[in-house]
Amino acid sequence: MEWDAFWLSCQLAAATLVLLMPFGVWAGRALAYHTFRGKALIEGLVLLPLVLPPTVLGFYLLVVLGGASPLGEWLHETFGVTLVFNFTGLILASLLFNLPFVIPPAQRAFEAIDPRLREAARVMGLPRYRIFWQVELPLTWRALVAAAVLTFVHTLGEFGVVLMVGGNIPGETRTIAIAIYDRVQAFDLAAANQMALVLLLLSLAAVVTTFALSARAAVPRRSE
Amino acid sequence: MDGTETQTLTVAVDQREPIPLTGRLTVPAGKLVALVGPSGAGKSSLLRIVAGLLRPQHGVVKLGASCWLDTERRVWLPPEARQVGMLFQHYALMPHCSAEVNVAMALWRLPRRDRQRLARAWLERVGLPESHWHRLPNALSGGEQQRVALARALAAYPKVLLLDEPFSAVDALRRSELYALLATLRQELTMPIVMVTHDLMEARLLADEIAVIDRGALLQQGPTEHLYRSPRNARVAAILGIRNRFVGRWLGPDPLRPGWGRLEWRAHTERDDAPVIAVLPARDKGRIPLGQAVHWVVQNDALTLRTCDAPPCPGNPVRLAVTVTSVRSSGDFSLVEVALSASPQLCWQITLTGRERHRFQVGESAFLCLDPSWIHVMPIRRR
């Protein structure tokens, strides 16, 4: 068991969550409540990482952000920042490939709120932040927590994009999924199996949690 | 009851798109105006315009001197700035909050302790038992939810109260209890109240004034009895459920009787040679040109049905020989339909109560006595 790889994966997943959840909730809510030109295009782009092979996404990130690209060059010269083959680059890639795991579920959760509830809240004069905290969040938190759990586990196990953008630098970009691949390449199946089992159990727990949360949201409560 | 000044609500809307909506509505302080009309007429849209949930193409909404909406002057107050109390059609209670928290939410401007105290006071006032205060809305019956919604709408002392089909989701038994509750609360309410309903009985029972809306146009507003006695046109009469509507021609003032005119009752107005049924006296208001094709209506109050052997009606009524064609009992009253013996295609409907309702059988001949001072004549406007 390579604990430092596991730990790195956890850090990556946590960083992704912290950065992506606020943005994802905001974006999902905006998509749920507003209609605007180009909405379908944005919804499509958000889903793209789901259908795109991870290596393709990783490849283009390398092309766009790598030191040879104008953007990569500019970033390096202006801010001294490199976004490939390091942890920051991994976070950026991870944010992108987790978009479809956060924004569409958040959008559906906000769309499911009876619009009359928000209208009633507005007529009562509640300020927007109160409407969000007292009406919208209590009615969407299950879906949002489910999305967060999936995102976390999905990031733990992501392989293709991470390998393309991060490479395999121990302590910097060597995540648990890459460590598993590495161990198999080295015919160290016992170590690979240990780590694979951890990921399997975590994924299973995540899926069960997600289902449990959405099932409780769907069950109609007692009525007379 | 709260000491704040309350004023007249005035609404004027002129909109073509997305749905046509035109007309004016005036709701004096402390009065309840019922907006009635068929479904899809624009009743709820009008209410939403007052609440600020809908912005019309052109329109003005004012409460006393304060302007909430004026599209010409680009004035628009968002709903949160209007201090309106609104009871939504299916109550729109927060499903994750108890009855008490739902009411307290409307009091968010107050300190936390006052919120709870006032919310409880309101729940008590609308008659929700204390054991139900901590229940979620879906553990409450429809009538109980309605009470909570009413408490929530009133809790923050709104400047205008809007009721959108408040009783439609409640069964008939609970409904009469809620009517009584609203009537009791109203004695202390000083703000203008607008109630949308498709139930005419409810409107007549609870409202001071009725405003009739049809296909997006506000047709007429007035005190309930006035509206029933003098609807502006045949469509208003139809929406108000005035059953006895007929056509004819206005023959002008009666030279022998000042203040009265003569109405030629015809079977139809399609052709000029339509058979004349009778010439009836009717009040002359001097507004209808000679020979004008007219609709005319008579309210039930003006009608008496008499058996053939009964002594003549007192006063000077019009007596019509009729045959009873149907008797339908509906609760405390019966709806009796009679056809003119001379022209059976012309039918009258009359409601009878008490002992009267058992006196007539289908097929029986009778006399329909009509007090002509109740005849209301309206010119037919050809489009």
- What is the number of CB-based contacts under 8 A between chain A and chain B? 70
Would strands B209-214 and B32-36 be described as parallel, antiparallel, or unpaired? parallel
- B215 φ/ψ sector (left φ>0, alpha ψ -120 to 50, else beta): left
In a mutational test of the A interface, the residue from B44, B76, B86 whose CB has the highest number of chain A CBs within 10 Å is B86
Contact B156, B136 (CB under 8 A): no
Q: What is the pLDDT of residue A30?
A: 95
Please give the residue that has the higher pLDDT: either B255 or B314.
Answer: B255
Average pLDDT over residues B138-147: 91
Chain B nearest-CA distance from A115, in A, is 9
B103 → chain A, closest CA residue: A124
CB pair distance less than 8 Å for B79 and A130: no
Residue B41 has a pLDDT of 86
Q: Encode pLDDT of A28-67 as tens digits.
A: 999 999 999 999 999 999 999 989 998 899 899 888 888 7
List of chain B residues whose C-beta atoms are within 8 Å of the C-beta of residue A130:
108
Q: Quote the percentage of chain B above a pLDDT of 70.
A: 98
Nearest to B108 among A117, A130, A223 (CB): A130
Query: Rounded to two decimals, what is the model's pTM?
Result: 0.84
Give the integer Cα–Cα distance in Å for A86 and A75. Answer: 14
Q: State the best of A124, A136, A142, A224 to mutate against chain B, taking most chain B CBs within 10 Å.
A: A124
Fold of A1-32+43-214: MetI-like fold (1.10.3720)
Closest in B83, B92, B139 to A114, CB measured: B92
Chain centre distance of CA B313: 32
Please say whether the beta carbons of B327 and B336 come within 8 A. Answer: yes
Q: Do B138 and A125 lie within an 8 Å CB cutoff? A: no
Q: Which of A122, A135, A220 sits opposite B80 (nearest CB)?
A: A122
Give the whole-number percent of chain B exceeding pLDDT 90: 55
pLDDT higher than threshold 80 for residue B149: yes
Domain map (residue ranges) of chain A:
1-32+43-214
Q: What is the pLDDT of residue B34?
A: 95
Contact A120 B92 (CB under 8 A): yes
- What pLDDT does A217 receive? 60
Q: What is the pLDDT of residues B266-297, one digit of tens each?
A: 988 777 778 888 899 999 888 888 888 999 99
pLDDT at residue B1 greater than cutoff 50: no
Residue B6 — very low, low, confident or very high, per pLDDT cuts 50/70/90? low
Under a CB-based contact definition with an 8 Å cutoff, are residues B121 and B104 in contact? no
Residues 6 or more apart from B194 whose CB is under 8 A from it? B9, B25, B27, B32, B33, B35, B47, B50, B160, B161, B162, B163
Distances (CA, A) of A208 to B44, B65, B340: 44, 60, 76
- A37 touches B: beta carbon within 8 Å: no
**What does the pLDDT look like over A154-174, one tens digit per residue?**
998 888 888 888 888 888 888
Cβ-based neighbour number of residue B235 at 10 Å: 17
Distance (Å) from the alpha carbon of B38 to chain A's nearest alpha carbon = 22
The parts of chain A modelled with pLDDT lower than 50 are 219-224
Q: Give the one of A122, A135, A220 whose C-beta lies nearest to B94's C-beta.
A: A135
Residues of A in contact with B152 (CB under 8 A): 124
